[in-house]
Amino acid sequence: MNKELTKKLSSGHATCQGCGIPAIVRTVLGATDEPVIVANATGCLEVTTTIYPYTAWKVPYVHSVFGNAAATAAGIDAAQKALMKSGKIKKKAKVVVFGGDGGTYDIGLQALSGALERGHDFLYVCYDNEGYMNTGGQRSGGTPYGANTETAPAGETSFGKSQQRKDLMEIVNAHHIKYLAQSNVAYVNDLKMKAKKALKTTGPSFLLVLQPCTQLWKFPTSEYVAVGKLATETNFWPLYEIEDGKYTINNIVKTPKPIEEFLKVQGRFKHLFTDKNKQVIVDIQNKVDENLSKLVKRAEKS
């Protein structure tokens, strides 16, 4: 493996075959040459990279519980400011938080909101695999409408999750931070560009990165890039950024594929391809179109 890629996160961890989380971490941390301190919420990344007595981390690393990773980052930021003021250090390290959708959309949302509102200097990266995969595949606030999960199962009386996923980008944007962006592990150049911008931002910044999960989404382990691309090619997961309140769509899909192309390659949606659930696919397509229309209008207004 390329030594440059293992400078901050080594090989030898225990992420699943076909998992894109290491690519997200290496791309983000590789976007700066500055010293970095990582805070990591409990989740897939934490449990697979810190199996006692080993660690895959080659940078200062703090494991937080599910709900307080952003608060941990705030504490690190405050400590560095105090050390700077007292003359004990001359330069602050970059503080980067990694958390899954469970630890960000749900359990850690309060801590994230507080840290954003107070204006702490850190980058929060949510790797979004759309479910609680650390504990077996339960639905999260990031799980899409219609998906089959352990706690929102499809069956005779249910078509899977009956609620729409939270609009986390707009929740974060409501805190009026300078920079936030939505990216996708299948588009690493886009992710790297956004990570560089985020890490150069003074104050809080935020990246929401789609991470197709072979276990929950149920597709072959060699296909995470292909599945990730379909998410963007169908406009299910558009790539965009918000800088000082101004929206920019980074990848305009001129001829989007129908949402069925994204859904049919995943076992978690196979139950939708029956006569009784056809309307659910129509509803998903309508919601994708509605969300894209809102995003385009915001970008045009910007």
Q: In whole numbers, what is the pLDDT of the chain averaged over residues? A: 96
Residue 13 confidence (pLDDT):
92
Residue 96 confidence (pLDDT):
98
Provide, rounded to the nearest whole percent, the portion of the chain with pLDDT above 70: 98
Please give the average per-residue pLDDT across 203-217, as a whole number.
Answer: 97
Which tens digit of pLDDT belongs to each residue from 63-86? Answer: 999 999 999 999 999 999 999 999
Please give the average per-residue pLDDT across 120-125, as a whole number.
Answer: 98
Q: Which domains does the chain have, with CATH numbers?
A: 3-301 (3.40.50.970)
Q: Is residue 4 very low, low, confident or very high in pLDDT (cuts 50, 70, 90)?
A: low
Q: Report the DSSP beta bridge partners of residue 138.
A: 132
Residue 5 confidence (pLDDT):
55
Higher pLDDT, 281 or 2: 281
**Do you know the residue count of the chain?**
302
Is pLDDT at 1 greater than 60 in this prediction?
no
Please give the average per-residue pLDDT across 145-171, as a whole number.
Answer: 97
Is pLDDT at 21 greater than 70 in this prediction?
yes
Q: Is residue 55 very low, low, confident or very high in pLDDT (cuts 50, 70, 90)?
A: very high
Is pLDDT at 137 greater than 60 in this prediction?
yes
